[in-house]
Structures are given as structure tokens and as C-alpha cells.
Structure 1
Amino acid sequence: MISNFLPSVDFAKQLDKEDTLSRFREEFYLKPGSIYMDGNSLGLLSKRAERTLLESLDDWKQYGIDGWTMGNNPWFFMAEKLGEQLAPLVGAAAEEVIVTGSTTVNLHQLVSTFYKPEGTRTKILADELTFPSDIYALQCQLRNHGYDPGTHLISVKSRDGRFLEEEDMIDAMNEEIALIVLPTVLYRSGQLLDMKRLTDEAHKRGILIGFDGCHSVGSIPHSFSEWDVDFAFWCNYKHLNGGPGGVGGLFVNRKHFGKMPGLAGWFSSKKEKQFDMEHILTPADSAGAFQIGTPHVLSMAPLIGSLEIFTEAGIENIRNKSLKINQYLINLIEHELADMGFFIGTPREDARRGGHLSLEHSEAARICKALKENGIIPDFRAPNIIRLAPVALYTSYKEVWEVVQILKKIITEKQYEKYKNEREIVA
């Protein structure tokens, strides 16, 4: 991906000149004197996202309750419109995607719908490296069915504490497993799992499988429909830049349409039946059936503008730059930070790497604090991980070069020693 690599700033500037996505950088609010490397936790605000939020506020101001069917983006159909915009990013038909709820609420919805223990199949398969919120939800769902999570939540072990091996997950797919929930990309190491292979193997054994796409949607292409994935869920505030606490998204394979949602609400209804106010639910013949309550309009509105950018940029182009700029970061770290105690804890192969880099160091918490003092916004994960995310739409190669030079300076000058080696309240 990086031919004739050179560690010079001039080489970084040349890469920026060749970057076909560089024009999108001006779409975002970038703080002067600061380099943002935490887009895998919270994406930056774009001017288009700001515009569509203000348009929805104006609709509220101008139309009041008539904003549900009038204005720039009528609220009654906003979740479906966003699903249509999102569908190409996850490789799905428009009706298979809906914007609703939050990551964990959507996981509860999907597990309560698809986890149907029967006979010997009573267990849920997950992994020990997944985000804790997913584990809490799965444990809760098992308890709700009267099962002990200690025996019925099967957690695939990591061989090295960083990565998962697909072979180990496949070996765990036995006749006791009723449902599988796995991440697309591991939130700590950035490892990308082979979703197609895992789905194929699960279905060979008669097991339903779903994926948490929080750390992949918006940074890599997906083919959920083609791979025959049963369901997926994700947040929209990381790589998709939908805003803090923004409404989540979910995918349900069309083969499951008509299935009664495990957690029903009035927005589960067919649109034409919703205001009939009947006490018998007629669920939508789409992923819309898996909505529960009234959409959070003002939290959804920024995503309209943000997704316009993704449509124009193209997810394949975003992935290509993401791979290239992350490889450039790896090359710089290896060249500039050798023998300084750093270890790259992210897979080197393109096919196994998501959109962020995991940089391990025994003084990681202190180094993150020193980075912030130097105008770099990183992300820390205990006990020893600095996560860096060069985002294809708004990070420049020159910024990546500057980040590595500052890391080198922090170590050489021992700037980190003034801080305690412990995380802040928000890592």
C-alpha cells in the first residue's frame, strides 16, 4: 500500500497531494493546533451534519407537530430514509436496515428476538475480547430465560490476549449453541474478523449468528446480505460521525421478515397501521419492525448530512485510504520509535485490520496525557493500549507524521513522567 516509503515530512506532504479524499477534510470542524486521532471513539462534527440538525430544529420551529410529515426531512420517515442511506455501507437492501435505539438496546432487541433455546441448544457463544456492554446484555438475556450465564454464555478464549482465531470460534460451534454474537472488529486490537467464514460455519451447524459492527461500520465495506448474516447492530457516532450518543443502527436479514420482534413497541408497526391504535401489533415487513419507541429525531438528524458525505466519498475509497494511512502510521512507528518500548498490537495483514491502530506501551496512560498536552487527541484502553485512528475523511498524512514525531519527543524527553500512569474518568 505504501511504495517507496520515506520517513520525511515531504513524503507525507506528497501523499496528501495524491489523496483523492483530501477535499472532504474541509467538511469537518477541525480544531486549530490540535490533531484528532480518536475518531474510532467519537467522530468529528461535519458542516453537513450541523446543517441537517439545524434543518430539523427549524422544522420543529416552523411546523410544530406537523414536522412529522412536513419540512426538509419529515420525522415519521426519517429512520427509513437513514436506513436507505446506510444500506450501501453495510451491504444490505434498504429495507434490511433501520436507524433506531442504541447499540445495547438494539442488541437486547435482536437477542430477545432470535435467541430461542430449545432442546440441547440453550447456550450463547461470544468471545472474551468483546466490548463489555455486549457481555452484560447477553448475560441479562440468559438470566431472563432462567439460565446461569456462568454455564450458558460460552466465551471463546484468545490465545495471546490480543487476537481471536476463527478456528477457535468454529470449534466452539457445537450442538449446544443456539445463538452467536461476535464483533466485526475487536475494539482493543483492531483485528477484523472473517464474517463470511464465521457465518457460513455457523449456518452449516444450524446456528443463527449476528455481529456488533460498532468499530467497523463507516470504515470498512460489509456484505451482510451476501454473506447471509442473520442480524447486526452498531453505533453511528464513531466512524459515521453521527454525534455523541447518536441513535444506533441495525440490520435484519430479509429472510427473517415477518418474525415478531422480541421487544415490541408502537414504532414496530407497519407505517400505514401505526395510527390505527389497535391493541394487536401488525409489525412492519422490514427491519422497521425492530424499532421500539418514538425515534430520537434531533439525535438522528445529524446523520442525514454525515451520510451524504459517505455516499459521495464511497466506502471502498474510504477503506483504501484507511488501509494506506494506517500502514503509513505503522511504517513511521517502526522507523522512528524502535527500541522505545512500543509494540504494535494490531494485525499487519490488510484483510485482518480494521480502521484503528493499537499501540502498546507500559506507560500508555501517561503517554496519552502527554499527547493531549501536545495537542494530540488519542484514546487509552487499560492497561497499556494507546489507540490511534487516522480517519480517511479528515486525517492527513502530515498529521500522522507529526503525531509520531511528538510521540518520539515525549519518550526522548520523558515528558510522560510528570503524570500518573492511570486513566482519566473517560479514557
Structure 2
Amino acid sequence: MHQQNDKFTVEYARKLDQEDPLASYRQEFYTRANQIYFDGNSLGLLSKRAEDTLLTMLHSWRDYGIDGWLEGEHPWFYLSENLGKQLAPLVGGSPEEVIITGSTTSNLHQLVASFFNPNTSKNKILADQLSFPSDIYALQSQLTLRGYDPATHLVKVVSRDGHTLEEVDIIAEMREDIALIILPSILYRSGQILDMKRLTEEAHKRNILIGFDLCHSVGSIPHELSEWGVDFAFWCNYKHLNGGPGSVGGLYVNKRHFGKAPGLAGWFSSRKDRQFDMEHQLTPASDAGAYQMGTPHVLSVAPLIGSLSMFHEIGIEQIRKKSLKLTGYMLELISHELKDEQFIIRNPLADEKRGGHIFLEHQEAARICKALKANNIIPDFRSPNGIRLAPVAIYNTFEEVWKVVQVLKTIMIEEQYKKFENKRGVIA
């Protein structure tokens, strides 16, 4: 009994930190004194390496001018392809299957424009009712552009509990009229991981292409997109990969689709050796580079160079191992310390189903989030009553997890949240 109670002490948390093989990486990041940052699943913190590579790229502009496209430490002309090679291991793709380009939504538009090929019998897109809204907006737009009514041609899998999805329900909706499936790898609210391998196999049995939004999984969990046979994927790089606000996104296209012309072409869709021929007939790149459109945002992608170097040193398996320990520890503390405070844990509890953040529901969630911020803890509110807490493996500590739960307990016992309006801010 004594040993069990030890788990809920700060000394136990500190012991976990002493045993943490990733502890030294915290020093790589800019953290504020007396602040606990648990919002890395919305925007990761700045690392010193990311700052250095941003400055290096800025100085290449200063030192080379237009010659920076082919000179300097990181020539701009090949930057998207080179970073794609570096990121490929994190998604389980080969180097030529990954490109750093665009944003989550622009990449989704590109991929749907390229791979949604409706005919009289297969002309619907399958998504789900829990997807991040931007994905749904993009799918509605693409259907409208093709002359279809999204009300009838965008099919959304219904959640049984309003928080998670059952794979059997998704598979049941893979009907003969579905031409394309777009799903999240991890649900942005509940943190549920979908079985991408199983869903891909089932989609392909029915001659349906399938793609995944990896925004909440890239840099957080391992993937094997090529091994699983996933057709394509897209993501942002500013969450767990710490690429900075508005950082350039990424996409993956399975090599079996190479040679397919991009649905939305631009001059960076070109084969590199033909791009400056300036012909009005596009010669697409023979790999994922074909799905680029415009000139890369060099300064916005630069921080990712430094950030990715840490992921290569550590390895995604190690990151996932610590992430699970952090969220597992937090769930234990919440169940023990907050059992009387009417919080509902909406995460799947099984390790293989839980992503990198904790999702709590409480009827006073907006006020509680404001009280947490007043206590120098940065959470993430999700309307109408959700609190997301993301202890990030590469820079958060077990002691921080312990402190957050203790502060949350104090906020509830002392009713500190009542000082605030139960309404979200402009940005939540």
C-alpha cells in the first residue's frame, strides 16, 4: 500500500525524471520560468536548433541573394525534397514518397483534386463526424467544384459516444458508391488512434483509395504508411514536430501512384531539370514532388531543419515510449486526485489506442482553462467543454505532469475557476 501511495508524490515524479533518457533534450528548448506548457499538440515550443537553422537560412538570403537557390548550406531549390527525405522515417515512407510543402488544408485540396476520380457508380467521399472542421470544409469544397452536393456525397461515419470511432462502423460505410476515404490518424479531441493498417486493407478490398490526416500523430507516434499500403497522407509540422507557427506542411504519396499528374499543378510540380525550360506543358516530377504547387516558403520551413535533427537522434520509438509514460502517469494522477471533481476522461485508456494528449471534459471547462493559465499552465480548450493537456516527450517532465494535476485539484477545491467567464476566447 505504501508503494502505491508513493506514485502520487512529487518525489516519485522526480525519480521518473531522473530515469528519463530524454531528459537532456529539455535544455534544447526555450521554456519560460515558472510556466508549464502543455499545448504542444497545437503549437510546439521553439528549440535552439530550430532558431539556429532559421537564422542560417535568413543569412543565406543576406549572403547569397538569388544564388541561395543553389548555394549555401541548405540550397532552397532542393530544400523541400531534402526535408522530405529527413521526415520520411517518421511516417514510414521512402524518401521519394514525402515532400515538405503547403499546409494541411492546401495539401488536402491537392490530394483530393488528384485522387478523387468519381464516375457514375463511385462518386462519394467518406469521412467522419469527429474530423477537424478544416478537413470537412475542404472536402465539401471539392465536391461542390465537381458538381456534387456535399449533403448527399460527403458521407460521415457516426460516433457511438460522440468522442471515438469504431473501426467496424467505418468499414460498414465503405460501400460501393464510395470513391475516396479521408480519415484522421488520431482524433483531435479524444486522442484516439485509428487502426490505419486495418482500415487501409479494408478500403483496398473494396477498390477504394484512402488517405489520412496525420496532424496529431506525426512526431508523436510511429507510422508505417508504405508497409500498410496507405495511398496518401498530409499533415502540419508545427505541433509535435515544433516547426513554428504556420510552418510549412507535408504530404506523402505512395510510390504506386507515381506518374499520376497533380490535380492542382504549379511550376514546382515540375521535374527539377525541366522546371526552368518555361514550357507551357508541365513535365511533372516523378515522385511526391509532383504534388507541390508554388515556390517553397523557405523561411517558414527553415526551423524544421533543426527540429528534425533531434527526432533523428532520438528515434520516434523512444519518443512514443516516453509519451505513453507521461500520459499514462497523468491518467493515474487524474483518477486518484480528481476523482471527486466531475472530470470525465475521454481518451482511450489502452496504450495502442491513445495518442499524445489527454482530453478531459467538464461543464466548467472554459473557466478551468482560464484558471490554469492564471496559474502559469498553458492548456488547450476545445468547445464546448473540453480540456486538452499535452505533455510532450521531448521537452516536458513527469514533475510537470504531477504539478499540473495538483494545480487542477487546487483550482477545483478553491473554486478559482469561478473568477472567470465560462466562455472561450477568440482563439482557443
* Range of TM-score over shorter length: over 0.9
What secondary structure, in the 3-state scheme, does the structure 2 residue paired with 1:241 have? coil
Q: How far did residue 4 of structure 1 move?
A: 8.8
Which residue does 1:243 correspond to in 2? 244
What secondary structure, in the 3-state scheme, does the structure 2 residue paired with 1:111 have? helix
What secondary structure, in the 3-state scheme, does the structure 1 residue paired with 2:370 have? helix
Cα deviation, 1:4-53, whole Å, max 9, x if unaligned, reads 97100000000001111111100000011100000000000000000000
Q: 1:161-240 alignment to 2 at 5 Å? A: 161-240=162-241
Which residue does 2:72 correspond to in 1? 71
Q: How far did residue 119 of structure 1 move?
A: 2.5
Aligned pair 1:333/2:321, yes or no? Answer: no
Q: How far did residue 345 of structure 1 move?
A: 0.6
Q: TM-score, normalised by structure 1?
A: 0.99
Distance 1:127 1:384 in 2: 20
Q: 1:250 to 1:336 in 2, by over 3 A?
A: same
Q: 1:4 to 1:79 in 2, by over 3 A?
A: farther
Q: 1:266 to 1:326 in 2, by over 3 A?
A: same
Q: 1:24-423 alignment to 2 at 5 Å? A: 24-423=25-424
Q: Which amino acid is 2:7 matched to?
A: L
Q: How far did residue 339 of structure 1 move?
A: 1.1
Distance 1:293 1:95 in 2: 19
Distance 2:73 2:9 in 1: 48
Q: 1:16 to 1:247 in 2, by over 3 A?
A: same
Q: Which amino acid is 1:359 matched to?
A: L
What secondary structure, in the 3-state scheme, does the structure 2 residue paired with 1:162 have? coil
Cα deviation, 1:55-102, whole Å, max 9, x if unaligned, reads 000000000000000111110010011101100000000000000000
Q: How far did residue 367 of structure 1 move?
A: 0.3
Distance 2:172 2:99 in 1: 33
Distance 1:330 1:132 in 2: 28
What secondary structure, in the 3-state scheme, does the structure 2 residue paired with 1:52 have? helix
Aligned length: 426
Cα deviation, 1:188-238, whole Å, max 9, x if unaligned, reads 100000000000000000000000000000000000000000000000000
Distance 1:123 1:5 in 2: 55
Which residue does 1:9 correspond to in 2? 10
What secondary structure, in the 3-state scheme, does the structure 2 residue paired with 1:178 have? strand
Distance 2:74 2:306 in 1: 11
Q: 1:113 to 1:331 in 2, by over 3 A?
A: same
Q: 1:426 to 1:186 in 2, by over 3 A?
A: same
Q: 1:4 to 1:67 in 2, by over 3 A?
A: farther
Q: Which amino acid is 1:77 matched to?
A: Y
Q: How far did residue 370 of structure 1 move?
A: 0.3
Q: Which amino acid is 2:298 matched to?
A: V
Distance 1:3 1:17 in 2: 19
Distance 2:353 2:35 in 1: 30
* Structure 2: unaligned runs, 5 residues or longer: none
Distance 1:3 1:269 in 2: 61
Q: Which amino acid is 1:35 matched to?
A: I
Distance 2:339 2:120 in 1: 55
What secondary structure, in the 3-state scheme, does the structure 2 residue paired with 1:108 have? helix
Distance 1:113 1:6 in 2: 52
Distance 2:204 2:24 in 1: 43
Q: How far did residue 158 of structure 1 move?
A: 0.2
Q: 1:295 to 1:12 in 2, by over 3 A?
A: same
Distance 1:260 1:249 in 2: 18
Q: How far did residue 392 of structure 1 move?
A: 0.2
Moved over 4 A (4+): 2-5
Cα deviation, 1:284-339, whole Å, max 9, x if unaligned, reads 01100000000000000000000001000110000000001100000000111111
Distance 1:88 1:5 in 2: 39
Q: Which amino acid is 1:313 matched to?
A: I
Q: TM-score, normalised by structure 2?
A: 0.99
Q: How far did residue 259 of structure 1 move?
A: 0.2
Please say which of residues 407-416 and 4-13 is displaced more in the overlay: 4-13
Q: Which amino acid is 1:179 matched to?
A: L
Q: Which amino acid is 2:177 matched to?
A: E
Q: How far did residue 3 of structure 1 move?
A: 9.2
Q: Which amino acid is 1:391 matched to?
A: V
Q: 1:264 to 1:420 in 2, by over 3 A?
A: same
Distance 2:175 2:369 in 1: 42
Q: Which amino acid is 1:258 matched to?
A: G
What secondary structure, in the 3-state scheme, does the structure 1 residue paired with 2:25 have? helix
Q: Which amino acid is 1:172 matched to?
A: E
Distance 1:229 1:169 in 2: 16
What secondary structure, in the 3-state scheme, does the structure 1 residue paired with 2:424 have? coil
Distance 1:156 1:126 in 2: 6
